[in-house]
Chains A and B, each alone.
Chain A
Amino acid sequence: MRMRTRAAYGFLTPYLLIFAAFWVWPIVYSFYLSFLATRIQPWRFNPGMTWGRLVVDPAFANALKNTLIILVIQVPVMIALATLLAVLLNSQLLRARGIMRFAFFAPVVVGEAAYAAVFRLMFNADFGVVNKLITGIGLPRVDWFASPTAAMALIIMAVTWRWVGYNAIIILSGLQAIPNDVYEAATLDRVSKPRQFFFITLPLLKPIILFCVVLSVIGTMQLFAEPFLITNRGGPGGATETLGLFLYRQGFTVLNFGYASAVAYTIAALAIFISLVNLWIGRSPK
């Protein structure tokens, strides 16, 4: 090894040791754990109790189903809203654009516990402002925390509210990278504004939107705080229990570390798989 290389590795060693101990080892160890039956001491190799159980466990199937429902509805709705919001925030007609941009980004800054508390108050069946508005226009009262469908809708709305501005800001950066003269050329080509949006803006934003979709997929696959805090630990009756919450129960409540590890690996694998599918669908033609 050359002297310079050796010196470089010398400087890197402290970091690499910490990296190996706190990053590589937990990943490898949890993978090993995922093959152990950990309910009874001593832990034994028994993948049937972890990976095998995944296939037959109705609670896991329920969490997976809930997560996928949220994913399939929330991610497209949020990305579409974020794109519209970005266009709006980019508009020359909009006053106080800086303040508006911050306002829509602000939910990310607010603590999860605080915003969950506000949502619980707003959606309270008896005195929440949302039900007051709904009954005010003559619609029936919704019991947001007791109805499975309403609770799921509430989770989707909450997650969308929290992350739409964040994604809009990312998409806005993509919008601002599109040179104005491309639109001027299209105007001279007699292409209307809506068509400019669909035929120029959207295709040029595709890489950014794809990036936001992948981020959102990863986030939704790990969704935990909202069902835990807003709908009372995945209530009513597990109707909003997500994979993240299910993992938490196995790891922290039941203390079944082997099974929790298998669930964690499944979540990561699913997130990677869905992201790859997204990237494949959105790939640029050769």
Chain B
Amino acid sequence: MAGVTLRNVVKRFGSFEVIHGADLEVEDGEFVVFVGPSGCGKSTLLRMIAGLEDISDGEIAIGGTVVNDVEPADRGTAMVFQSYALYPHMTVEKNLSFGLRMNGNDKADTARRVERAAKILRIEELLDRRPGQLSGGQRQRVAIGRAIVRDPEVFLFDEPLSNLDAELRVQMRVEIARLHAELGVTMVYVTHDQVEAMTLADRIVVLRDGRIEQIGRPLDLYDDPANRFVAGFVGSPKMNFMAAEVVGAENGSVTVALTNQGGARLTVPAKNGFAAGDKLTVGLRPEHFGGAGEGDCELSVKVDVAEHLGSTSYVYANTASGEQLVIEREESRSEIGVEHLTVSIPAARTYLFDASGARLR
């Protein structure tokens, strides 16, 4: 069992730097998810831990040992690839045992490990089949099984569910969570799907353009994002962002006018020093809009589209202003066909960001 430590890890392809000094401490047995949009460097970072990419600068340690110059096979990691990377010409049993057989592992022990992995993943009846005869979900199980037989200290998952359909993805997500509980080993998991990140992770690492934007427990990131990027990336539907201008500041609070929302005024508690005319962004999650008269500021919005999902509804409003609002409403059958809606903003639920996207408190 081992934790993973990244110290100022840098990756350059030629002169092009893609990871700009990442620092991270993954505890032993922890489930950490790297999340971020395409091209943010999350897969590269994972491949650097696996040893499939060289480290241009900095240090990676697994179980306290620096592994910068250690061969991938000697790092105590096992990786599950997005494309499964199964050996197409081998049966499932051969796929699982290939690495062990090639390394002269004891036959009885190999058989025992394959049996154990097959049992954990419930693929015992598939052992004689070839990858081509398996469904996507079954292939994914075999790929995970191949990692399990290696008995690794750290599991690395590179977007393992992105090739599966929605239903299977939910099912495999539960399986992976069960696997983590059962094996208790360190897992580092890469995904661009924030739902996967929120549901699986002990801690989430949000990346953007090769930089770690924030590290934290899923609900901490949700409740207390460090910047506008994290606030927008975590949560679905994403947080609403409204342009605002400071019209007055007092000790401990600031009053802003929501520029694109009819100039509605809102006083928000804040410690930063503000001056009238400062440009800000006010963030509010869709579920935090209140009904008329419930909040600190009223907005009359024009409904463009409403999605009624039964228990909740999502109202897309004020698109014409160039600043669309997404409002989550509880049971709203009575509002079907409604064109205008009055909602309120509770000041305590808002987030303030400056022009660079940094959070203001």
Contacts and interface: CB of A to CB of B under 8 A. Distances in A.
Size bracket of the B interface: 20 to 34
B89 A190 contact: no
Nearest to B98: A189
Nearest to B80: A185
A188 B79 contact: yes
A43 interface: no
Contacts of A195: 102
A190 B85 contact: no
Contact of B88 (A187, A188, A189, A204): A204
Interface string B47-91: 000111000000000000000000111100111010101111100
B45 to A, nearest CB: 16
Contacts of A191: 98-99, 102
B265 interface: no
Interface string A195-233: 100011001101000000000000000000000000000
A181 B88 contact: no
Contacts of B135: none
A190 B81 contact: no
B150 interface: yes
B251 interface: no
A184 interface: yes
A182 interface: yes
B102 A188 contact: no
A179 interface: yes
B150 A189 contact: yes
Contacts of A203: 89
A186 to B, nearest CB: 8
Nearest to A185: B85
B192 interface: no
Nearest to A203: B89
Contacts of B73: 187-190
Contacts, number: 60
Given A195-B102, A199-B102, A187 B85 contact: no
Interface residues of A, number: 17
A62 B79 CA distance: 59
B329 interface: no
Contacts of A200: 87, 89
B103 interface: yes
B102 A182 contact: no
Residue from B51, B83, B85, B98 with most neighbouring chain A CB atoms (10 Å) = B85
A135 to B, nearest CB: 48
Interface string B81-124: 10101111100000000110011000000000000000000000
Contacts of B102: 189-191, 195, 199
A187 B51 CA distance: 10
B72 A188 contact: yes
Contacts of A186: 87, 98-99
B85 A181 contact: yes
A184 B89 CA distance: 16
B98 A184 contact: no
Contact of B85 (A184, A199, A204, A206): A184
Contacts of B81: 181, 184-185
Interface string A104-133: 000000000000000000000000000000
A197 to B, nearest CB: 13
A204 B89 contact: yes
A182 B98 CA distance: 12
A32 to B, nearest CB: 47
21 contacts: A179-B83, A181-B85, A182-B85, A182-B86, A182-B87, A184-B79, A184-B85, A185-B79, A185-B81, A185-B85, A185-B86, A187-B72, A188-B52, A188-B72, A188-B77, A188-B150, A190-B71, A191-B102, A195-B102, A200-B87, A203-B89
Interface of A: 179, 181-182, 184-191, 195, 199-200, 203-204, 206
